[in-house]
Amino acid sequence: MEAVASENIVKGLVEIVGQKYVRADDVIRWTYAIEDFAGTFFHPLSDKYGPPDIVVKPHSAEEVSKILKLANTHKIPIIARGGGSDMTGAATPLKKKGGIILDMTDMNRVLDFQEGLNAVRVQPGIRWGELHHELAKKGVTAGLQGPHGFLGATLGGGIGGNCFSINSPKYGWLNENILNLQVVLPNGDIIETGSLANTKVKDWYYRYCNGPDLVGIFLGAAGSFGVITEFTLRTYPIPEYSATLAYSFPDTDSEIKFVFKLEWYGYVTDLWGIAFFTLPDSLKRILAPLVGERDLAIFATEAYDKDIFKAQKKAIDKMAKEFNGIAIPVEGICRALGISIINQTEWMGGGIFGKVMGPNGSDTCSIAHLPQWQRVVGSALEIMKENEDALSGSIPLIGADHFFLFAQLLGRGGVANTFAMTPADFMDPENLKKAQDLYQAIVESYMDTGVTALYRIGKESQFLTKRFKPEYISFMKAIKKALDPNNIMNPGVHGLGLEEEE
Amino acid sequence: MAFYLLEGSLKYSKEVADCVYNCTTCASCEEICKPMSNMIVQMGGSALKTMLPRILSPLGAELEALQSVAIMEAMRADCVDLGLQPEPLKKTAESIEKNHNPYGEPHANRTKWAEGLDIPETADTVLFVGCSTAYRRQEIAKATVKILKRAGIKFAVLPDEWCCGSILLRNGNVDIAEKMIEHNVELLKEKKVKRLVTSCAEGYMGISKDWPQLAGELPFKVMHISELLAELISGRKIKFKKPVNLRVTYHDPCHLGREMDIYDEPRAVLKAIPGLELVEMYPTMHAAWCCGAGGGVKISNPDLALEIGAAKIPFIKETGATVLASACPFCKTHFIDVIDRAKEPIEVKDITELVAEAMGV
């Protein structure tokens, strides 16, 4: 940005939000030039990304509206940002574009909760920990416990990045729980969706009414169509009965069939699995004497009624036996040790994957349809084995150079994680390049299977744009052009907003 | 920021220094970025704590969190070398070098609070009072002395105790910290001390973590007063005579909790006091919010420190407690300032004061 323009824009922003909430000095700019969680830097960190020109903290939709109008006048990119752990560049400017980062973390209030509403109205900067605390006071839960940033992550970031969450197998992904939005459009207009489109409606939140569902296009859009300034989230009663169960299975195929059916019947709240064939030797040596060379499924189940809970556990056991599952008695141990895979609200949380991946690693933000999971990770595993040298920067939890978590069940309909790490030493350009190439190769291999998708794309859209059907791209571009003719909203996200360079 | 400083995109400047010195070194960032193994330990409690490292260490697995605070302190040391340390902290360091305390008070006044208390200068156990307690929170020192005497503990207070150096290391003044630590370690060795007890959370962390790094293995055991009190209570060496009918919530000092993993002992002490009702505030323990004073912020940016502290007031009020208890003199001082400014009817007390009250000493 030209110095004079920058000065005028800073002046304009100060008039909108006040001096305290506008920063354009190097130290602040550079701290927003990276995405990070658990000490694991954004993997494709490269020359492509750079610092914003200005960072601004709004406190209301009206302020956001004025900022967007100002940005439109000067044709400056706007990037809305929450906790900054997107990992695909959605919260970081492109170096050649720069722009203004809207740090949304001060818009963090619970706005409305009424008994019997079964929903809560919040601002996007609220963090999961704060939300849990507020909902617990009302005796309800969001069901979901939070994404990889756990309690410190903002919900707004999760909406923009299509986040899954602990407990998504039961409650769905975050965006499946969104009812209404308040959005500031690129031109500064403030709109509300669904039932709230009617000026007479103040506090009744329903999504599918008053015409087409306009909520969807803003979810997972990483702020490319507008800035979400309020939203309504479903709430649930807190289940009184829950347990952590585990079963081993003779092979991955049996385990997958069990997990698929478990989720289909609605018995699972969250699930982590281990596929023996993907494990490094060090972990195989530990697990084999304990449970044999078998796959493991560790999961939580819950219910609201004692009798139903007992019957549910019995049904799960019967189902596991159908697939030659052997129960592993973890329930008592978990209770004694105070561990539950679904109750993670007591600790600050976050970064559970950090050291699993090793420093500077990245996961691939990809999902697969569970029955095809073996095929998807099998090809990636081959690539990783062939390139072990490139992974030498890793100090992962299990002391090995690669690591797969079997199909953490991520959502309803048999959606499973296809997690792969590609660690790198950022101070060693050669090592970094190798790791980046490997990351690209793995994602390419995933995408070529035809049963994988990237749930988060950010500005790493190169894997998708060449595979998107042309009509789909045209449709997305048409929406973008209609809403954001000056391409100011997070240019580069999903490959949009860079038309002038094509 | 550290990454870009290393990589060269960002250069040290006054702005960088201002930002680096606005960190309270509360270690919340380390908590957020704990590796999974640490999380499991934390979730599982003592059984897993013993078990897990044994399983993981042959695998070369890591239990250490990302050392964000150490990185921050290293950047501060760079700022000191480059002359970028904020002026108030420079003055603090100068005061410590000259007076051996950060408050600009004469060293001779260090044990003024102990006049008439008849405390020996030699014993196997030494009460390392610390600057904040000695010069600003003498009530904690007096309560501690009364408790220890009544419990039959033979202990000494050393008039030539110097600043523990912790605040200097937090702020990047490594050279002066080394002098302080060297003096204290030599003094304690000379006195053939077997056990050091302190009621200061920052001092406890500095002595436990920093001293061995700079002065080698310590020939004495280091205890925080909350550990000793919990031990004395469970060993029935402390007898309570009157109920303290108060609803109390406990603030976890960052340097005692996240840095030293002491969460249970202060709570055990408070729960043992008859009549006292301990109510947890949110967020608590590992997730507790800092008081705002640490890492030199109260000195270099007092308004920010007060703002951070004020953010805790709604959580304190939510518990319905009338007393905020802590186990750190610096947290206490700061919360008194925060609560005074907010004009809230909340009293701030150290756990030693509540114990002394219940003992009737």
Q: Is the pLDDT of residue A37 over 70?
A: no
Q: What is the pLDDT of residue B120?
A: 96
CA A191 remoteness from chain centre: 25
Select the more confidently predicted residue: B293 or A465.
Answer: B293
Q: How many CB pairs under 8 A join A and B?
A: 116
* pLDDT band at residue A397 under the 50/70/90 scheme: very low
Q: Chain B, 285-314: which have a CB under 8 Å from a chain A CB?
A: 285-287
Contacts A344 to B, Cβ<8 Å? 43
Pairing of strands A54-56, A22-23: antiparallel
Interface residue of B36, B38, B261 to substitute, partner A, most A CBs within 10 Å: B36
Q: What is the pLDDT of residue A57?
A: 97
Taking CB atoms and an 8 Å limit, are A397 and B62 in contact across chains?
Answer: yes
Q: Among partner residues A27, A282, A352, which is closest to B36 by beta-carbon distance?
A: A352
Q: What is the mean pLDDT of residues B90-109?
A: 97
Q: DSSP string covering A158-175, please?
A: HHHTT---TTHHHH--GG
Q: What is the pLDDT of residue A389?
A: 64
Among A156, A146, A145, A148, which residue's Cα sits nearest to residue A91? A156
* pLDDT band at residue B128 under the 50/70/90 scheme: very high
Q: What is the pLDDT of residue A45?
A: 54
Q: Is the pLDDT of residue B109 over 60?
A: yes
ipTM: 0.76
Could you tell me what percent of chain B has a pLDDT over 90? 83
* Mean pLDDT score across all residues of chain A: 84
Q: Among partner residues A150, A346, A355, which is closest to B35 by beta-carbon distance?
A: A355
Q: What is the mean pLDDT of residues B189-194?
A: 97
Q: What is the mean pLDDT of residues B120-136?
A: 97
Interface residue of A23, A27, A426 to substitute, partner B, most B CBs within 10 Å: A27
Taking CB atoms and an 8 Å limit, are A286 and B9 in contact across chains?
Answer: no
Among A433, A456, A430, A427, which residue's Cα sits nearest to residue A443? A456
Q: How far apart are CA B70 and CA A134, in angstroms?
A: 34
Among A183, A232, A148, A162, which residue's Cα sits nearest to residue A493? A162
Q: What is the pLDDT of residue A387?
A: 76
Distances, alpha carbon A407 to alpha carbons A74, A391, B20, in Å? 46, 22, 41
Q: Is the pLDDT of residue A265 over 90?
A: yes
Question: What's the pLDDT tens digit per position in B209-255?
Answer: 999 999 999 999 999 999 999 999 999 999 999 999 999 999 999 99
Q: Is the pLDDT of residue A402 over 90?
A: no
Q: Is the pLDDT of residue A498 over 70?
A: yes
Q: Is A482 exposed, middle or buried (0-12, 13-18, 19+ CB in 10 A)?
A: exposed
Do B87-233 and B238-359 fold alike per CATH?
A: yes
| Length of chain A (residues) | 502
> What letter does residue A59 receive in the DSSP assignment?
-
Evaluated on CA atoms A280, A285, A287, A293, the torsion sign reads: positive
Select the more confidently predicted residue: B47 or A308.
Answer: A308
Taking CB atoms and an 8 Å limit, are B44 and A339 in contact across chains?
Answer: yes
Q: Is the pLDDT of residue B355 over 90?
A: yes
Q: Is the pLDDT of residue A216 over 50?
A: yes
Least confident window among A113-127, A240-254, A267-281, A480-494: A267-281
Contacts B303 to A, Cβ<8 Å? none
Q: What is the pLDDT of residue A435?
A: 74
Residue B264 sits at the chain A interface (C-beta within 8 Å):
no
Q: Which two tokens stand for residue B187?
A: 């003094």
Residue A332 sits at the chain B interface (C-beta within 8 Å):
no
Helical ranges in B157-301 per DSSP H: 166-171, 174-190, 201-205, 211-215, 225-234, 264-272, 297-300
Q: Is the pLDDT of residue B56 over 70?
A: no
Domain boundaries, chain B: 2-81, 87-233, 238-359
Q: What is the mean pLDDT of residues B145-156?
A: 97
* pLDDT band at residue A132 under the 50/70/90 scheme: confident
Q: DSSP string covering A187-242, please?
A: TS-EEE-GGGGSTT-SS---SS-SSS--SGGGTTSTTSS-EEEEEEEE-EEPPSEE
- Are the C-beta atoms of A370 and A260 separated by less than 8 Å? yes
Q: Is the pLDDT of residue B61 over 70?
A: no
- Please give the single-letter amino acid code of residue A124: P
Q: Is the pLDDT of residue B8 over 80?
A: yes
Predicted TM-score (pTM) of the model is: 0.85
Contacts A351 to B, Cβ<8 Å? 32-35
Q: Is the pLDDT of residue A422 over 80?
A: no
- Residue A377 backbone phi and psi in degrees, to 5: -75, -25
The crossing angle, in degrees rounded to 10, of helices B264-272 and B351-359 is 30
Least confident window among A27-31, A216-220, B30-34, B96-100: B30-34
Q: What is the mean pLDDT of residues B27-50?
A: 62
Q: Is the pLDDT of residue A354 over 50?
A: no
Taking CB atoms and an 8 Å limit, are A27 and B19 in contact across chains?
Answer: yes
Contacts A347 to B, Cβ<8 Å? 31, 39, 42-43, 285-287
Half-sphere exposure of A496 (CA within 13 A, CB side): 31
Nearest CA-CA distance, residue A351 and chain B, Å: 5
- Are the C-beta atoms of A257 and A209 separated by less than 8 Å? no
Q: What is the pLDDT of residue A465?
A: 80
CB-CB neighbours of B183 under 10 Å: 16
Nearest chain B residue to A129 by CA distance is B283
Residue A398 sits at the chain B interface (C-beta within 8 Å):
yes
Encode burial over A441-468: b for 16+ CB neighbours within 10 A, e otherwise.
Answer: bbbbbbbebebbbbbbbbbbbebbeeee
Sequence-separated contacts (24+) of A125-128 with Cβ below 8 Å: A125/A82, A125/A154, A125/A156, A126/A154, A126/A155, A126/A156, A127/A83, A127/A151, A127/A152, A127/A153, A127/A154, A127/A155, A128/A152, A128/A153, A128/A154, A128/A155
Q: Which two tokens stand for residue A149?
A: 């940033």
* pLDDT band at residue A391 under the 50/70/90 scheme: low
Q: How far apart are CA A182 and CA A160, in angstroms?
A: 14
Contacts B68 to A, Cβ<8 Å? 39
CB-CB neighbours of A156 under 10 Å: 28
Residue A335 sits at the chain B interface (C-beta within 8 Å):
no
Q: What is the pLDDT of residue A502?
A: 47
Q: How far apart are CA B351 and CA B356, in angstroms?
A: 9
Least confident window among A162-176, A297-311, A361-375, B54-68: B54-68
Q: What is the pLDDT of residue A335?
A: 66
Question: What's the pLDDT tens digit per position in A427-457?
Answer: 677 777 777 787 788 888 888 988 888 888 8
Q: Is the pLDDT of residue A381 over 50?
A: yes
Q: Is the pLDDT of residue A177 over 70?
A: yes
Beta bridge partners of A37: A40
Contacts B62 to A, Cβ<8 Å? 355, 395, 397
Question: What's the pLDDT tens digit per position in A454-481?
Answer: 888 888 888 888 888 999 999 999 999 9
Q: How far apart are CA A80 and CA A97, in angstroms?
A: 15
Residue B258 sits at the chain A interface (C-beta within 8 Å):
no
Q: How far apart are CA A363 and CA A87, in angstroms?
A: 9
Percentages (nearest 5) of helix, strand, coil residues in chain B: 55, 10, 40
Q: Enter the CATH code of domain B87-233.
A: 3.40.50.1860
* pLDDT band at residue A421 under the 50/70/90 scheme: low
Q: How far apart are CA B326 and CA B313, in angstroms?
A: 14
Q: Chain A, 17-76: which have a CB under 8 Å from a chain B CB?
A: 25-28, 30-31, 33-34, 37-39, 41, 51
Q: Is the pLDDT of residue B341 over 50?
A: yes
Distances, alpha carbon A225 to alpha carbons A49, A52, A474, in Å? 21, 19, 15
Q: How far apart are CA A53 and CA A93, in angstroms?
A: 9
- Are the C-beta atoms of A64 and A339 separated by less than 8 Å? no
Q: What is the mean pLDDT of residues A222-237?
A: 97
Tokens 């293995």 locate to B217
Q: What is the pLDDT of residue A3?
A: 66
Select the more confidently predicted residue: A388 or A444.
Answer: A444
Q: Is the pLDDT of residue B170 over 80?
A: yes
Rg of chain B's alpha carbons, rounded to an integer?
Answer: 20
Helix/strand/coil for B21: coil
* Mean pLDDT score across all residues of chain B: 92
- Please give the single-letter amino acid code of residue B109: N
Residue A280 sits at the chain B interface (C-beta within 8 Å):
no
Helix/strand/coil for B221: strand
May I ask the CATH architecture of the domain B238-359? 3-Layer(aba) Sandwich (3.40)
Q: What is the pLDDT of residue A153?
A: 86
Q: Chain B, 12-41: which have a CB under 8 Å from a chain A CB?
A: 13, 15-16, 18-19, 28, 31-37, 39-40
Q: Is the pLDDT of residue A280 over 50?
A: yes
Among A460, A465, A372, which residue's Cα sits nearest to residue A422? A460
